[in-house]
Structure 1
Amino acid sequence: MNLSSNPTQITARITSQVEFRAGDGPLLEIPEGECQVIIDADSAVLTWIEEDQPMTAAIPKIEFDRFIESGAIVLGES
Structure 2
Amino acid sequence: MPRFFFNIRDGYDLDEDDEGIELPDLDAARAEALATVEELRDQLGDAGNIELEIADETGRRLLTVPFFRGQRSSRGR
Q: State the TM-score, normalized to the length of structure 2.
A: 0.38
Q: State the TM-score, normalized to the length of structure 1.
A: 0.37
Structure 1 or 2: more helix by fraction? 2
Largest Rg, 1 or 2 = 1
